[in-house]
Each structure stands twice: as C-alpha cells, then as structure tokens.
Amino acid sequence: MTLSRNIAALAMVLAAAGAPLAIGSQVAAESMNASCGGGTVYYDTDPIGFQSMPVNAGVRGNLSGCQGTPTHDATIDAQFTGAASCMDINGQVDGTVTWSNGEVSAVSGPFHVPGGFGAPATNTLTIESGPGAGGQIVMDLGPVNAATLAAACAMGQAQHGELPILGLRIV
C-alpha cells in the first residue's frame, strides 16, 4: 500500500479523532449502531519516500450516506503522528468528526495501513466524547491513487494524497 493510502487512512482516523483526548473518567457508551456509506480522506504530510521516517500529518475528509448518526453527513479533521513511508504507515491519530448539525465526536487511537499499493485497511478508533462516546469507529479504506504518487515517492517528496472511505461503522 502506498504511503499516500496509509496517510490518507490515517488522516481519516485522525479526522475522526481530532479533538484532544478526554481527560478523567470514561464517558458511558452512547451506543449508536450506526454507519456511513462512504467518503474521502485527504492528507498533507511531511515529505516522505520509500524509507520509513517520523512524520506529522494533517488529515481532513468527509463522510456521507450516514444512518443512525446525528446527521447524514460529517467532516473529519485530525492530526497523525508516527512513522511513515510510501509503503507503510503506523502511528497515532487524534481528531474530530463534526456532524452537519454542529455536534462533534472526538476520536483517538492507533492507526496502521499495511504496506503495498492497494492493500486493504480497516482501523478502529475510540470515540472519546460527543455522539457515540465510549464506542468505536471501524473504518474500511480503499487504496490510495498510487499512479499520482509514484514519482513523488521515488524522489522522497510525497506530501499530499487521498483515499476513499469504503464504509464506516460506529459500534
């Protein structure tokens, strides 16, 4: 999976994780049993190539076709910190999912996108506060568009990418 795919996946998670982690006691779970049909994650990172290195990335995105959630769509905003290359990404995301009615779910957790272009990725994040607090977001991501990143990866200059969100479940 390309670094772009990995970062994009991470971006999505970060976007969902956005706000700072809740401090203190855990909030009782607000079970949602909800889902979103898709979306897109975009990321901007420190320049990366084929060698793994420490990175920070900004992640943003959108969710659509949501059911059982506060609204049918939402935006994602997150930060990723970890190690990345164009072939693998592993780290921590902290971010927010902002529902179109203004409610905000803060999310956080480890995020990994395995190596290889087009490798599937499923990541699980904890909902720290807001709608769904105490539950988890399970996100299925599609492949990063590797064709647009090949030259940048070879030169160690890949910084921007996107990947599709194939589905998202809140449990």
Q: Mean pLDDT lowest for which of 8-12, 20-24, 73-77, 87-91?
A: 20-24
Tell me what the pLDDT averaged over the chain comes to.
81
The whole model's pTM is what?
Answer: 0.78
Q: What is the pLDDT of residues 122-165, one digit of tens each?
A: 999 999 999 999 999 999 988 877 777 889 989 999 998 888 89
Residues 85 and 88: their CA atoms lie apart, in Å, by 5
- Helices within the chain (DSSP H only): 3-17, 150-154
Assigned CATH class of 3-170 = mainly beta
pLDDT at residue 28 greater than cutoff 80: no
Q: What is the pLDDT of residues 6-26, one digit of tens each?
A: 444 444 333 333 333 333 334
Please report, for residues 56, 63, 72, 125, 152, the alpha-carbon distance to residue 37 in angstroms, rounded to integers and kept in the order given.
28, 8, 10, 17, 31
Instruction: Sketch the domain layout of the chain as residue ranges.
Output: 3-170
